[in-house]
Amino acid sequence: MNRRIFTRTSCALALAALAPLASAQGWPEKPIRLILSQPAGSGADAMARLIGDQLSKKLGQPIIVENRPGGQNAIGAQAAAKAPPDGYTFYFATAAALVMNQYLFKALPYDPRKDFIPVGMVGRVPFAVSVNPTSQFKSMHDLVSFARANPGKLDVANEGPKTFSGMMVGLLSSQLGVKVNSVPYASVSAGVTDTVGGQIEVIVSDVPSISQMVKAGKLRPLAVTTAKRISGWESVPTIAETLPGFDYAGWIGIVAPAGTPPAVVQRFNREMEVVLSDKEMAARLLAIGPMTEGAGTVAQMGTFLDGEHQRWAKLTKELGILPE
């Protein structure tokens, strides 16, 4: 009798273990949602739709981009976190949604670490320190020299103290040993407009937001925040050339609700890798914003996220930023 019960139990456990694999073999059988926290028409929206279109061709089902903006990414993140983990919802997530928010806000309607599992990396978004073309600053050395000689007199536009650009201003001030006047703007476009118009001399912003102004000669970049010079901007130095080891960039990755079948995640990751490894696709994405080097593996994405949590926990502590 005990042997019979043991055999039945073993069979049941084996079938339960195989269930996700079996369900994944027929996946996908219907359209897939790709949720993002940015509005329609934004740069992230353009990226999601471009990638989603190519993924749909690989998977044989439509990828429906669903915009859930607002709440410092919390609305979209919560919608993705609470979605059924059946392989038909994925989250097109920013660094803020998956990492930074945890160290900036006391309470979130989702848990960045527990509610999602990694799928793959989309790409990194470099930031830059730029000036009005008429500025006296021709290099980072000029800017730093002025800031040291004139504490608190250099105005630097950004999107606020708890945004990526705002924290870059704080980090640069700390590591360079200078005091600047951080000027927050409600949007990067407003900051760009004032810098182009001469109302403010310096701005820290993501590269995609200023690329057209740079091409038109209305802004002059002094340095980028990534460790290596970026494609198309090879003449622009990196901050790391002044501060060795400095390497910061925004990024976008894809995650799934925790509990999504591993076989589904692996399949989605493989198709992401194929799509993002295409040179034409990489060039099209770069024109919008991110630099991609492929999706990487699921394990690599997980390791990357762990490293980012360690980095931002340390950075917010260094800058004295407390969750609110």
pLDDT tens per residue across span 149-199:
999 999 999 998 888 899 999 999 999 999 999 999 988 889 999 999 999
Let me know: does 295 contact 281? Beta carbons within 8 Å.
Answer: no
**Residue 14 forms part of a structural domain:** no
What is the per-residue DSSP string for 125-139?
Answer: EEEEEEE-TT-S--S
Question: What tokens were used for 223?
Answer: 């340095």
* Residue-range definition of the domain harbouring residue 75: 30-124+249-318
Both 140 and 235 in one domain: the answer is: yes
**Residue 51 forms part of a structural domain:** yes
What is the per-residue DSSP string for 201-242?
Answer: SEEEEEHHHHHHHHHTTS-EEEEESSSSPPTT-TTSPBGGGT
Q: Give the pLDDT of residue 8.
A: 54
pLDDT tens column, 3-54: 554 455 445 454 444 544 445 678 999 999 999 999 888 888 999 999 999 9
Mean pLDDT of the chain: 90
The H-or-E segment that residue 155 falls in is strand 155-158
Best CA proximity match to 189, nearest among 208, 172, 173, 161:
208
Q: Give the pLDDT of residue 313.
A: 93
**Residue 103 forms part of a structural domain:** yes
Let me know: does 182 contact 170? Beta carbons within 8 Å.
Answer: yes
Where does the pLDDT of residue 324 fall: very low under 50, low under 70, confident under 90, or very high at 90 and above? confident
Q: Give the pLDDT of residue 208.
A: 85
Neighbouring-strand partners of residue 32: 63
Q: Give the pLDDT of residue 161.
A: 86
Q: Give the pLDDT of residue 5.
A: 47
The torsion angles phi and psi of 126, rounded to 5 degrees, stand at -70, 155
Both 269 and 223 in one domain: the answer is: no
**Residue 2 forms part of a structural domain:** no
Let me know: does 130 contact 222? Beta carbons within 8 Å.
Answer: yes
Distances (CA, A) of 133 to 66, 110, 181, 210: 39, 43, 20, 13
Question: What tokens were used for 94?
Answer: 């920013």
Mark which of 213, 241, 269 sits at the end of a domain.
Answer: 241
Question: What tokens were used for 122?
Answer: 């989309």
Instruction: Kindly report the number of other CB atoms within 10 A of residue 198's CB atom.
Output: 11
Both 235 and 136 in one domain: the answer is: yes
Who's near 25: CB < 8 A, 6+ residues apart? 263
Q: How many domains does the chain have?
A: 2
* Whether the predicted pLDDT of 243 surpasses 70: yes
Best CA proximity match to 28, nearest among 56, 66, 70, 65:
56
**Residue 23 forms part of a structural domain:** no
Report how far apart the first and last C-alpha atoms of the chain are (Å, whole number): 60
pLDDT tens column, 276-296: 999 999 999 988 878 899 999
CATH number at residue 293: 3.40.190.150
Both 106 and 86 in one domain: the answer is: yes
Q: Give the pLDDT of residue 320.
A: 86
Both 214 and 294 in one domain: the answer is: no
Q: Give the pLDDT of residue 1.
A: 47
- Report the pLDDT averaged over residues 125-135: 94
